[in-house]
Amino acid sequence: MNVPIRCLIAEDDVDDQEIFSIAVSELEGQYDCTYTLNGIEALERLTHDSLLPHYIFLDLNMPRMNGIQCLAEIKKQDRLSQTPVVIYSTSSGQSFIDDALRHGAATFITKPSRISDLVTILNEFFITQINNK
Amino acid sequence: MILIVDDRPENIFSLKTLLELHGFRTDTAESGEEALKKVLNQSYALIILDVQMPVMDGFEVADAILGFSKAKDTPIIFLSAANIEKHFITQGYTSGGMDYVTKPVDPDILLFKVKTFHKLSEQRRELIMVQSSLRSEIENRKKTQQELDSRIEELHSVLESLPQIAFTIATDGEVEYVNELWYKYSDKLSVFPVTHPDDSSSTSEWQTHFKQGLEFIREVRIKELATAQYLYYLLRIIPIKQNDQIMKWVGTYTDIHQHKVVNETLEQKVKERTKELSTKNVELENRNHELQQFAWVASHDLKEPLRKIQTFSHLLRDKHLKDLPDAKSYLDRTIKSSERMSDLINALLDYSRLSVSSFFEKTNLNTVLNEILSDLEVTITEKNAIVNASEMPVVDGVHSQLRQVFQNLISNSLKFSRPDVFPHINITSELISEKSFTSPVSALGEYCRIVVSDNGIGFDEKYLDKVFTIFQRLNDRRLYEGTGIGLAIAKKIIEKHNGIITAKSKENEGASFILVFPLHQIVLEQHNEI
């Protein structure tokens, strides 16, 4: 794995951005994370950046444009249609999970209360994604 | 029968012979006294009476006969040889005689006279019979008429005494009698009270009933003359039959105005109340919804900062406090508290989620139990617990909710075990016929009774109603963890499945939770009120 895995994370909470980056830093392999504070900013980056991310993580609750709306917009764009999008939230409500998957999310991750748990979850996710390819 | 009266037997004999020869029946008397006796006892068509007789002559006999009402109309032919003078003949006629024949008798003439008188007498007798039968017929009719009159009078007096307006209608459809009250609503006997324009169809309806000979009942508003106000009456007209023939119709108007007005007011009130209530209901629903939203949002929003407290506490403890045991101990307690808070919030979230309506579907409780036991595997192993479950039924239910019920009950049994005794949990199920905790077992029962029992610390049954109440904790929190919501959730869910739940327990001997709910739900959507 010479090329770092590029991740775009839309997360309005800077603490959560930091928690995510700590977790990613404990993963094996190279990860290049880009953070935006909301869905609109994420969409702008996805439209204008020449280099597309390998994975997109969207927080569910964000101002201006929430995770699901952003997910819907992403799925409209042909060049992003193959990029796995993860909805990432404090909530564990089944209705949110169903909603996310219906909109084409690769998976739904409930934010755990321990970084070690998040590391495990992310690790499993990436392994599944690589195996699927 | 012809009576021949003569003091001379030879005269009698010749007359008797003559008459019998011509087919008349005869009777004879040889003196006036004998004749009178006979006349008293029998009626004769004709009496042939000799004038000259000793003791009592023919005129005296005739006078006496005239005095008998029974015989006074019997024709008399006087026979006389001596007294042929005019005054005798006159006396004979005035004595009631019909004819006067002088002797010697010409048998042919006498015979003609006898025949004529006999015939006359017969005709008279017939006439009298006809007359008497006519008289009795007239009597009969009079009697019938009297009876009829007295009946009608009785009917009228009954109708008059009624508190209703009463009337009778003849078979030609004309009003023939009305009681006093009629005149409060109509000037004339022949004119029906004025009905409200909205009730005008009643007239034609009555005509139809009248033609078909059917009882007529209808509510009508009629105008009171004095006040010109329309009042509610119940009009009822029934046919009176005799030998299946309608003789007349009797009608009444019963005052139902008060009743009707009260009813209308009541209806109006009920309508208003219903409207108020439904408005209130909508308000309540909205409030309820807001409350649910509030509970949900509050719990959800509380989770976010709490999760961060937990995350950073863990980070701090694991990465930076390895050499600071005191600080680590404090932080451990912080983490413990935040975990408890997290449990509480999750339980609240679960509780508020119950208010969202959901649909019943076929739920295999064996699957539900297996899922729970696999989730709890770690705890079960840690606690050295034994869990036995009998075959469970398939019921109409909400899978996630039923799972929560058993999850809460089994977790409780594991949690509230006695320190020195390995937990032993038994889950049994049986079909029963009624929704009752004590219903007998029935293979075809429509309800199931599931008992989750353990050998844990149990509780005093006097706290039975408290264990199912939200935030009620019976146990010391330092010894036993718990949110105090689990059983409240279980009860709520079982109730939403139209079931009932209770518990039996003795302190330090264990507890049994008994659930009874239907196998089949009639309405497949759950009510969504809390």
Q: What is the CATH number of the domain that holds B208?
A: 3.30.450.20
What backbone torsions phi and psi does residue B232 show, to the nearest 5 degrees? -75, 130
CA distance B494 to B395: 12
A-proximal residues of B, 4-23, CB under 8 Å: none
Please give, rounded to a whole number of angstroms, the shortest distance from the CA of A118 to a CA of chain B.
Answer: 10
| Contact yes or no for A91 and B315 at CB 8 A | no
Q: Which of A17, A62, A90 to mutate to test the interface with B (most CBs of B within 10 A)?
A: A90
Q: Give the orientation angle of helix A67-76 with respect to helix A39-48, to 10 degrees.
A: 20
Residues in chain B closer than 8 A to A112 (CB atoms): 307, 311
CA distance B472 to B347: 13
ipTM above 0.85, yes or no: no
CA distance A8 to A85: 9
Give yes or no: residues B390 and B511 share one domain: yes
| Contact yes or no for B400 and A94 at CB 8 A | yes
Residues in chain A closer than 8 A to B312 (CB atoms): 15
A101 touches B at CB < 8 Å:
no
Position B392 scores a pLDDT of: 94
Scanning the structure block, which residue is given the tokens 């949990």?
B425
Q: Look up residue B382 and give its two tokens.
A: 């840690």
Residue B306 lies in a domain: yes
Give yes or no: residues B276 and B194 share one domain: no
CA distance B140 to B66: 31
Alpha helix stretches (DSSP H) within B182-256: 201-212
Q: Three-class SS of residue B501?
A: strand
Q: Three-class SS of residue B356?
A: coil
Facing B314 at nearest CB: one of A15, A94, A115: A115
B218 touches A at CB < 8 Å:
no
CA distance B190 to B206: 16
- A and B: number of Cβ contacts within 8 A: 35
Please give, rounded to a whole number of angstroms, the shortest distance from the CA of B304 to a CA of chain A.
Answer: 6
A110 touches B at CB < 8 Å:
no
Output the domain CATH number for residue B476. 3.30.565.10
Taking CA–CA distances from A20, the nearest residue in chain B reads B311
Taking CA–CA distances from A22, the nearest residue in chain B reads B315
Residue B93 lies in a domain: yes
Cα torsion B271, B276, B278, B281 to 10°: value is -160
Give yes or no: residues B18 and B117 share one domain: yes
Q: Give the orientation angle of helix A14-25 with respect to helix B257-320, to 10 degrees.
A: 50
Q: Look up residue A122 and give its two tokens.
A: 């992310």
Q: Which positions ≥6 away from B377 have C-beta within 8 Å?
A: none
Residues in chain B closer than 8 A to A93 (CB atoms): 349, 353
Give yes or no: residues B427 and B326 share one domain: no
Would you give per-residue pLDDT tens digits along chain B (530 residues)? Answer: 889 998 888 888 888 888 888 888 899 998 888 888 888 888 888 888 888 888 888 888 888 887 887 777 788 888 877 656 666 667 766 665 677 777 777 888 888 888 888 888 788 888 889 999 999 999 999 999 999 889 888 888 888 888 889 999 999 999 999 998 999 999 988 889 999 999 888 888 999 999 999 999 999 999 999 999 999 999 999 998 888 889 889 999 999 988 888 988 999 999 999 999 999 988 888 887 787 777 777 777 788 889 999 999 999 998 898 889 899 999 999 998 898 888 888 877 777 777 666 788 899 999 999 989 988 888 899 899 999 999 999 999 988 889 989 999 999 899 888 888 999 999 999 999 999 999 999 989 999 999 999 999 888 888 787 778 766 665 655 445 555 678 888 998 999 899 999 999 888 889 999 999 999 988 766 655 43
How far, in Å, are B256, B259, B263 from residue B197 at the CA level? 18, 21, 21
Q: Look up residue A92 and give its two tokens.
A: 């564990």
The full length of chain A comes to 133
Using the Cα atoms of residue B407, residue B412, residue B417 and residue B419 in order, give the sign of their dihedral. Answer: positive
Q: Which of B296, B307, B401 to mutate to test the interface with A (most CBs of A within 10 A)?
A: B307
| Contact yes or no for A113 and B311 at CB 8 A | yes
A-proximal residues of B, 317-346, CB under 8 Å: 318, 338-339, 342
What's the gap between Cα B110 and its chain centre? 88
What backbone torsions phi and psi does residue B100 show, to the nearest 5 degrees? -135, 115
Is B454 in contact with B503 (CB distance < 8 Å)?
A: no
| Contact yes or no for A19 and B308 at CB 8 A | yes
A-proximal residues of B, 393-432, CB under 8 Å: 400
pLDDT digits (tens, 9 = 90+) for A11-51: 998 999 999 999 999 998 899 999 999 889 999 999 888 88
CA distance B433 to B96: 111
Please give, rounded to a whole number of angstroms, the shortest distance from the CA of A90 to a CA of chain B.
Answer: 6
CA distance A57 to A44: 15
Residues in chain A closer than 8 A to B354 (CB atoms): none
Give yes or no: residues B250 and B287 share one domain: no
Q: Which of B233, B255, B277 is the last residue of a domain?
A: B255
Q: How many domains does chain B have?
A: 4
CA distance B62 to B3: 13
CA distance B327 to B470: 35
Taking CA–CA distances from A111, the nearest residue in chain B reads B307
B307 touches A at CB < 8 Å:
yes
Residue B147 lies in a domain: no
Q: Is the pLDDT of residue A108 over 60?
A: yes
Residues in chain B closer than 8 A to A114 (CB atoms): 310-311, 314
Give yes or no: residues B373 and B510 share one domain: yes
Give yes or no: residues B437 and B391 share one domain: yes
Rg (alpha carbons) of chain B, rounded to whole number: 59
Please give, rounded to a whole number of angstroms, the shortest distance from the CA of B331 to a CA of chain A.
Answer: 14
Give yes or no: residues B362 and B330 share one domain: no
Residues in chain B closer than 8 A to A115 (CB atoms): 311, 314-315
Residues in chain A closer than 8 A to B315 (CB atoms): 22, 115
CA distance A34 to A21: 10
Q: Which amino acid is at B190?
A: S
Output the domain CATH number for residue B93. 3.40.50.2300
A80 touches B at CB < 8 Å:
no
Q: Which positions ≥6 away from B17 have C-beta within 8 Å?
A: none
Give yes or no: residues B26 and B127 share one domain: yes
A132 touches B at CB < 8 Å:
no
The full length of chain B comes to 530
Please give, rounded to a whole number of angstroms, the shortest distance from the CA of B353 to a CA of chain A.
Answer: 9
Structural domain for B454, as ranges: 358-518
Position B343 scores a pLDDT of: 81
Residue B151 lies in a domain: no
Name the residue among B261, B187, B201 with its Cα closest to residue B235.
B201
Give yes or no: residues B371 and B434 share one domain: yes
| Contact yes or no for A90 and B304 at CB 8 A | yes
Q: Which positions ≥6 away from A21 have C-beta within 8 Å?
A: A33, A35
Could you state, in order of their start, the residue ranges of all structural domains in chain A? 5-132
Strand residues in B419-499 grouped as ranges (E) = 424-432, 447-453
Q: Which CATH class is domain A5-132?
A: alpha beta
| Contact yes or no for B310 and A22 at CB 8 A | no
Q: Look up residue A26 and give its two tokens.
A: 């404990």
Facing A113 at nearest CB: one of B342, B349, B353: B342
Confidence of residue A79 (pLDDT cuts 50, 70, 90): confident
Scanning the structure block, which residue is given the tokens 């006969």?
B65
Cα torsion B341, B347, B348, B354 to 10°: value is 170
Give yes or no: residues B48 and B180 share one domain: no
Residue B143 lies in a domain: no
| Contact yes or no for B314 and A114 at CB 8 A | yes
Give yes or no: residues B390 and B514 share one domain: yes
CA distance B169 to B245: 14
